[in-house]
Chains A and B, each alone.
Chain A
Amino acid sequence: MAPRFEGVDFYDVGALLSEEERAVRDTVRGWVDDRLLPVINQHYLEGKFPLQLVPEMAELGFFGANLPEEYGCAGLNNVAYGLIMQELERGDSGVRSFASVQGALVMYPIHAFGTEEQRKRWLPKLAAGEVIGCFGLTEPDYGSNPGGMITTARKTKDGWVLNGAKMWITNGSTAKVAIVWAKTGALDDPSSIRGFIVPTDTPGFGARDQKGKLSLRASDTSELVLQDVKVGEDALLPGSQGLKSPLSCLTQARYGIAWGALGAAMGCYDEALRYAKQRVMFGKPVAAYQLQQLRLADMLSEITKAQLLVLQLGRLKDQGKATPQRVSLAKRNNVDVACEVAREARRLLGANGILIEYTAMRHLANLESVYTYEGTHDMHTLILGEEITGISAFE
């Protein structure tokens, strides 16, 4: 069995955390070591999400942990929430994705845009893991440009009728409820986009597992088809209006991803360092060679910078100052760093690095998805470009 993970903390960043924040981190860290890592490889190879772990994740409070206690959530600050994501993704990006979707993309919009009745009806069950949710925004032809979506919601006498298709939907086949984004007006009017709470057993709602993934294999990724799906008035999230509503959900999720990717990087670095000290080649450990020392020094430098970045972003978020652009910078930087660290770790591990027994290749494959989802690396570059110059390169 792998030794217990002790973290990577070259700059004593842990001392900048409060006692509760450290306690939260340690609970998730211990759970990942004891409960997730022993089963993740088999699930990854079989292409299955470890659904059996959802009740314990819920019991420990991993879902929507930064939402208020009155809805059955833990009421943590955003740094503690980020640390949950960091530790979960040290386990596996797919499992962190599950928690991100449940918390940031399903619970958050119900909390932010829903009525008190909707919150009371859904949030406690989602926090308890009794209901699993998914988020339907991306469409086959509208990924980076969600404003172009062609899913529609048409008003009827007593509710709405939804038609369209969604793709790349995490938890899509597992979910009991979907937050579906659709245009209530003309197809060229993104300001008519609104969110709907759609139980997945509603007639006309279909989900199909997307086969053939070589990344995020321990995660359910599905297509959704909505064909004349009839929902009541109470399905509409009344506070949602326009593209900015789903984008604000993505800002929440991206914030968690910036922390999560860092966790994957920390895990890869830790594994690479242990391996480098143990693996003997030409009569000495590979850690004794300058080439591997350069790898390790680069990894540690980037991880340390990324840690300070997300910690300050978390403090800003707690003060209401984490703008979408600031979140973009962190998502872009930290996922890129994690991809590099995972790749260099895999290379340091030599041939062993391609095996499932080591985590680097699994993380590396996962992180390619993380690089692309929730705003691709390139889109975040353009968001920052617009922020810096005042000129949008994509509109």
Chain B
Amino acid sequence: MRIAVCIKRVPDTETRVRIAADGVAMDENGVKFIVGPYDEYAVEEALQRRDKAGGGEVVAIALGPDAAQETIRSALAMGADRGVLLKADRIPADALAVAKALAAELRDGGYDLVLFGKMAVDDYHHAVGPMTAELLGLPCVTAVSKLELEGGKGTAEREIEGGMEVVEFALPAVLTAEKGLNTPRYPALKGIMAAKKKPIEVKPAALGETRVAVTALGLPAERKAGRILGEGAEVVPELVRLLRTEAKVL
């Protein structure tokens, strides 16, 4: 089974974000970058599917700067077979531009399955996976939390508001992974050593025109300090009144 996993280099989710001097980007100094947490589910799923099929290839594809090779190597350390870096100085804010570059790489790859994380934790777009599917003319199922493949068909479960949706689709297909799809493995130490010897092909990303740009980046407003009204039952009426009129949570 030939599987492509599209992964993104994102800041660690515990990063304390600082804004760069230009006001539109994050200050990357001292920031640790990781494989997108949802992308990790996609990588794990790809590895399990390849191994279950008794063979094939898992190709980890990332778009980004040279440093994204480290992101690809994390996937190789987990067990992916080879990597492709679509090189761009920075990852554009235009999800369609990214999807076009990925689609150009994926189109003639002969993949049975293309996996993404359901979203990138830095931009929250949820967009690149489905856009890539559209460009490739392939069926797309997003936020998959359970997957079965049989013959040329697949069944996926999606968690939706208040329930569960079961979707059937034909292969090849594009799927985006939700938390709970599996438990991503740690890169074993031998895998980390083996990753150094696996090939990563570097080529320019065919981004084309980018039509979306970030114009400002800001930090969330600081939370206001709390207030203690007093102690004991006698302050409860005042507390309820303020929760109604001021906090408006009741």
Contact = CB atoms under 8 A, between A and B. Distances in A.
A338 B164 CA distance: 51
A24 B186 contact: no
Interface in B171-227: 186-190, 192-193, 195-196
Given A4-B14, A23-B74, A23-B77, A69 B190 contact: yes
Interface in B1-50: 14, 30
A24 B192 contact: yes
Interface string A32-60: 00000000000000000000000000011
A386 B186 CA distance: 45
A98 interface: no
A393 B187 CA distance: 48
Contacts of A31: 186
Given A4-B14, A23-B77, A74 B190 contact: yes
B189 A76 contact: yes
Contacts of B14: 3-4, 6
B70 interface: yes
Nearest to A12: B30
B193 A27 contact: no
Interface string A1-40: 0011010000010000001100110010011000000000
Contacts of A65: 189
Given A4-B14, A6-B14, A23 B190 contact: no
B186 A30 contact: yes
A206 interface: no
Find the residue from B14, B30, B188, B196 having the highest chain A CB count within 10 A.
Answer: B188
B186 A20 contact: no
A61 B190 contact: yes
A181 interface: no
B189 A61 contact: yes
Given A4-B14, A19-B70, A19-B73, A59 B196 contact: no
Interface string B94-118: 0000000000000000000000000
Nearest to B186: A27
Nearest to B187: A27
Interface string B70-83: 10011001000000
Nearest to A27: B186
A97 B188 CA distance: 20
A80 B188 CA distance: 13
Nearest to A56: B186
A280 to B, nearest CB: 12
Interface residues of A, number: 22
Q: State the main secondary structure of chain B at its contact with A.
A: helix
Contacts of A75: 190, 193
A24 B188 CA distance: 8
Nearest to B184: A30
Nearest to B192: A23
Contact of A27 (B30, B70, B188): B188
A20 B188 contact: no
Interface string A224-260: 0000000000000000000000000000000000000
A23 B14 CA distance: 17
A30 B189 CA distance: 13
B73 A27 contact: no
Find the residue from A6, A19, A62, A65 having the highest chain B CB count within 10 A.
Answer: A19
Given A6-B14, A23-B74, A23-B77, A69 B193 contact: yes
Contacts of B189: 24, 27, 60-62, 65, 74, 76, 80, 84
Interface string A137-165: 00000000000000000000000000000
B190 A20 contact: no
B34 to A, nearest CB: 9
Interface string B58-75: 000000000000100110
A74 B193 CA distance: 7
Nearest to A15: B30
A65 B73 CA distance: 20
A348 to B, nearest CB: 23
A249 B14 CA distance: 40
A4 B37 CA distance: 14
Contacts of B74: 23
Find the residue from B74, B187, B188, B189 having the highest chain A CB count within 10 A.
Answer: B189
Nearest to A127: B190
Nearest to A31: B186
Nearest to A60: B188
Find the residue from A4, A19, A23 having the highest chain B CB count within 10 A.
Answer: A23
Contacts of A24: 189, 192
A251 to B, nearest CB: 22
Contacts of B186: 27, 30-31, 60
A74 B70 CA distance: 20
Contact of B193 (A6, A59, A76): A76
Interface of A: 3-4, 6, 12, 19-20, 23-24, 27, 30-31, 59-62, 65, 69, 74-76, 80, 84
18 contacts: A3-B14, A4-B14, A6-B14, A20-B195, A20-B196, A23-B73, A23-B187, A24-B192, A30-B186, A31-B186, A60-B188, A61-B189, A65-B189, A69-B193, A74-B193, A75-B190, A76-B193, A80-B189
Given A60-B188, A74-B193, A75-B193, 5 more contacts: A4-B14, A61-B190, A74-B188, A76-B189, A80-B189
Which 6 A-B pairs rank lowest in CB-CB distance, beginning with the nearest? A61-B189, A74-B189, A27-B186, A23-B192, A60-B188, A74-B190
